[in-house]
Amino acid sequence: MNARSLAPMIPAPTADLWTSETPTTQESAVAEAAAFKGCVSVIVPIYNEVGHLDELLQAIQASPAKKEMIIVDDGSTDGTREKLRALPHLDGLTIVFHERNCGKGAAIRTGLQYARGEYVLIQDSDLEYDPQDYPALLRPLEEGNANVVYGVRPDRPERGLRFFLGAKLLTHLTNVLYGAGIHDEATCYKVFRRSLLSSVSLECHRFEFCPEVTAKLCRLGERIQEVPVSYTPRSAGEGKKIRHSDGWLAIWTLVTLRFARKERFVQPQNSNEGTPFAATLNTASSNLNRSRPSSRHWRSLLLMMLVSLVLQIAAIGLLHTYRFRPGEDHFAFGWEMGRVARSIALGQGFSNPYGDSTGPTAWEPPLYPYLIGGVFKIAGVYSDASAWVLLIINSSFTVLTCIPIFLIANKVFGARVAAWSVWIWALLPYTMYWSIHWVWDTTLTPLLLSLIVLGSLELEDWHGWKGWAIFGALWGVAALSNPSMLSFLPFSGLWVWYRRHKRGLPSIAGVVLASAIFFACLTPWLVRNYRTFGQFVFIRDDFGLQFRLGNGPYADGILMAYLQPNMNNLEFEKFRSMGERAYTEDCKRQAFAWIRNHPQRFVAISSKRFVYYWAGVPRATGSLRIFEFGPFDFRNSLFLASSVLAILGLVLAVRRKKPGAWLFLWLVLSYPTVYYLVFPHARYRHPIEPELLIVAVFLFSETGLNATSLEVRTPRVERFSRTRFSTIAATAFLANFCMAGAGRECCGHIPMFKKILVANRGEIAVRVIRACRELGIASVAVYSDVDRASLHVRKADEAYHLGAAPAAQSYLNIDKILEVAKRTGADAIHPGYGFLSENAEFAQACADVGVKFVGPTPTAMEMMGSKTRARQAMEKAGVPLVPGASRGLESFAEAERIAAKIGFPVMLKAAAGGGGKGMRLVHAPGELKLALEAAQSEAQRSFRDSEVYIEKAMVNPRHIEMQVLADEHGNTIYLGERECSIQRRHQKVLEESPSPIVDEEMRRHMGEVAVRVAKAAGYTNAGTVEFLVDQKNNFYFLEMNTRLQVEHPVTEVITGLDLVQSQIRIAAGEKLPLMQEDVSLRGHAIECRIYAEDPDNNYFPSPGKVTLLLEPSGPGIRCDSGIYEGWTVPIDYDPLLAKLIGYATDRQQAIARLMRGLDEYFIGGIKTNISLFRRILGDSDFQAGKLDTGYLERSLARPVEHPQAGGRAEVAAIAAGLFAVLDPSLSQNSSIADGGGRIAEIQSNWKRVGRAEGLS
């Protein structure tokens, strides 16, 4: 037996077709009737002629009707079978052969056995046939078993349509289908045929039907439907006979008449017509399915939805990706949307997108913020209850999306694709992730967009006004939820109009109605915006900012989040001072100006955004860490694979001419367009993922591997199915390999670290841990005995003990740190600053055990760590140096000779030194010997290296340093300078950026030299090149710090870059996201180092318990702290507590803000140097920018003029007494009297915790 069948959708009957009755159950009969409702069974009998059969089948397939095609060979010629097997593969095609010649009438009766459609169309494929077959063809029509329409040669009209339908019925059909008003039967037939073949559309006229036609129509059925095709028959001008192809087209295009469900035709007993074989029935729903889902389908759909909802609610409680933090307006509550919702709940209206009182806003579309605000009003603002309610609402949106997915897939591709699509959507963890990840409109948008696609499909043949009204309302709600969906509106409308036009259905009135309802939905919000801002604002007005966040000097195809007002205080100040409308217009102006100046870069970045949209955004999918393992990034690999499969499925659907395929195509092409221009994100593809899922499932359904109930599978069919499936799998794999694996650099993505160990303590450890958390990287803290309760231990995801308090036994213990890294599975170590941050031995040890050191290479560190080796390398690179020796002094005589050559004063420096250790200033020759011995001795004690070199001591120079960044791909840039001249004992106390004396030309020159220094050393990661600047603004290379500097925040503030994150990204192998011309400095920043030291006792360390901590805040204030109230500052380490940064648009305002911050800063229980900074900032020389390295020494030597105390001493005494009474724990002998007069000791928290740990 032989048969070929493609893409089966409905199983073949299992009973013998030649028995007198077919056993079926009532349930299967109902299911079959529902599946084939609206389907046309096209029967093509074959009699020794297949010359034009492929053209006929293509013409039939081009019809948008739901159909099955059945070719029946009457067995007259063996050669016909071979020709039939060579036909092109088409959807829904069944071929049946007879063992011997049985005649065309028998072939048609056999075809009727296989036909399950609600309509039957018999299409002749042969020019020569036996007229005696006509009675056999008419018999099923007369008996009511089928509706038969049969086409013959167009040059024999007496044997054509009029022969079967009757002249008056043909006249009526012609006028109905083509809008004609012709009464003459012969003319009507000619008009029908000519209009069909030449696509002539006639003007519609009113036509009164005669009683005979009306009666015949009532008898035949109540509905007549046109089935147009795009098929042009052969032309006589080609030198070939037109033959019967005109007839094929005419009959197929004419009509299908709807009848009641026909009974199956029964083969007469004792028939001698031959037994058919290869009896495989396949009904592929290759065109729009007008049937409605059965009750069984709905029950299955509800089960899917219930299971999905239960799983998502469980995931909210068990697997939510953030902690509920009442009282904090964190990102999980929608960020700007959540803050606007808070204002709504508090009765402040739709306002304040950034938390402060910035007034009414149109920063977000209104629908979702009002939803959040309503929940806040009922369940509490930023409460656990409101979080649960909102996340369950999000999950409900995801679950409800199952309904349009099922209906869309069922209409376009059939019930099988629909069922699989819904099950995948309902159970896929990826879809649940967006439901529970945050409170945003990410799950509402796919629901609305799917409903719009479904509405478009329904409107194709909708009669009445309700469908148009719903369509307009859907678009109105969608626009108020997410205006980016409007990019699909014109394409959706044009598709609906075109499809209705092809069917001859009116659309103008419906379009007007839908448009009116759409604008009626928008009008209240548009009026509100006009009244609020005094100008037209279409829904939301933040496009300027969004455009700037993706296009500018730092653009690299991803979101530049640091430019957002909620993450950048300078931007927030501009937002508040300029106003919302002026600010967004300014952002748009900046973005367009950058595009005009860099058109090629804009095109390149837009291309990269296109890749990111479909292949996955680097680092943006970092929260899906569960999928990342192995050499590839499986997060983006899966993301890319889904895109590849969906695109292949869409291409296949278009090639198969699925009626909804073009609508899907326009959706995929139009919706993402706006994100190619701004910035992509994984969640921005989620709105179209229901449609992508449907076409991906369709792709797999078409492989043939999922076919069910195939009674016959020939080797040819098996090979074809395997080949097609293998091609799909290979294409997806190769795309993954090229873009997510070996070629991942072309889309800019390098797998990020999973876990980083922070080999430091204090505020810098806290700073690195926060950067890791923002990147979605787990952090590991280490601590000594005295740091068990430190802030960095509390902030980290994991914490491990190193050893005793001395640094040599803890933070300098390389073996112990690497042991912790191995135990925790950390794949990188960030050293911070100090301790091991500039230890080349430690960097090499990390490399030896396979742990990435977040910093430069050991080679570069060794070169720049030795000041003599660094000077030698810089001499070769042509870098300006301070006059002196470039190697260590071997004797006192050599020191005398060099000093005499360069002249006094001179400076002796430790070659391995830093922080002022191993340095001695020598003013006269008599001081040189003792100074040399002292410097060598201190260098040996501090650095285990007594090498000392000599250089010219500059009188009152400025100390200015240049921040550089260098990736592992050869790119190096500088990020501006920092003024570090205010020093005490050669240690920086206060830093600012930019320097008051550096202009653009000097900055460029210093930056170029700094880049030359870094490249000469083969430097990578973040580093600082330090210069000394004389009174004439000549600068000289001093040294390079191969680590992150304490003062790095001032550079972060004025450049908008996160230097710690940049360090991590560079260490992970990423390229720098910007070029030198993209770097710009904005505003001014000043940093004060807050130390636990006593200004009244020569700045000796002041350890102790922090009894009260009041940290400053407000505009232009940043505090990087490593302490908290109740923590005890140890004496074992550097006494740095925090860094207070003030920043503003200019230096004077930055000073004013920092003064205000210092006034608000209070640390009780210990002494701090806060008063020193008040003194510095208030000094006239500092405010005038008259600075050098001797400034602080001179300033401290001047007496301080204290204001008249008056009664302040008494006030202070009273305050101290009240403070002691209100907080008796401050007393050294803390005790209280209990009710019986006994003295009870107040139990220490430390003691209680210690006892609990001892018991455990």
Q: Looking at the annotation, which residues are catalytic?
A: 1043
Residue 1095, helix vs strand vs coil: helix
Q: Are 405 and 425 in contact (CB under 8 A)?
A: yes
Helices (DSSP H) in 327-366: which residue ranges? 336-345
Measured over the CA atoms of residue 1219, residue 1222, residue 1223 and residue 1228, the dihedral's sign is: positive
Interhelix angle 543-550/580-597, rounded to 10 degrees, is: 30
DSSP bridge pairs for 1024:
963, 1041
Residue 277 has φ and ψ, to the nearest 5°, of -135, 180
Measured over the CA atoms of residue 745, residue 751, residue 752 and residue 753, the dihedral's sign is: negative
Q: Quick one: tokens of 1119?
A: 């505090």
DSSP class of 351: B
CA–CA separation, 1163 vs 306, rounded Å? Answer: 56
Which residue type occupies 736?
A: N
The tokens 């012709």 sit on which residue? 182
What are the C-alpha distances in Å from 1244 to residues 177, 794, 1124, 1225?
94, 20, 17, 9
CA–CA separation, 409 vs 293, rounded Å? Answer: 11
What are the C-alpha distances in Å from 1188 to residues 988, 991, 996, 1035, 1209?
12, 12, 12, 13, 37
The Cβ-side half-sphere exposure at 1195, using a 13 Å CA radius, reads: 22
Q: Which positions ≥6 away from 645 have C-beta within 8 Å? A: 696, 699, 700, 728, 732
Helices (DSSP H) in 678-813: which residue ranges? 682-685, 689-701, 715-736, 762-774, 791-795
CA–CA separation, 804 vs 811, rounded Å? Answer: 10
Q: Quick one: tokens of 1056?
A: 């908008």
Q: Which positions ≥6 away from 195 have C-beta within 8 Å? A: 178, 201, 202
State CA 968 to chain mean position distance.
26
Residue 303, helix vs strand vs coil: helix
If residue 58 lies in a helix (H) or strand (E), which one and from where to where? helix 53-61
CA–CA separation, 1139 vs 1135, rounded Å? Answer: 12
DSSP sequence for 569-590: HHHHHHHHHH-HHHHHHHHHHH
Q: Which residues of 424-440 are buried (b: 16+ CB within 10 A; e: fewer)?
A: bbbeeebbbbbbbbbbb
Q: Which positions ≥6 away from 512 have C-beta within 8 Å? A: none
- Tell me whether the omega of the peptide bond preceding residue 353 falls within 30 degrees of 0, making it cis: no
CA–CA separation, 1230 vs 1232, rounded Å? Answer: 7
Dihedral of the alpha carbons of 1181, 1184, 1187, 1192, in degrees to the nearest 10: 30
Q: Which positions ≥6 away from 171 have C-beta within 8 Å? A: 182, 183, 185, 188, 213
Measured over the CA atoms of residue 944, residue 949, residue 954 and residue 960, the dihedral's sign is: negative
Q: Which positions ≥6 away from 367 have C-beta within 8 Å? A: 441, 444, 477, 480, 481
Query: Furthest-apart CA pair in the chain: how many Å?
Result: 135
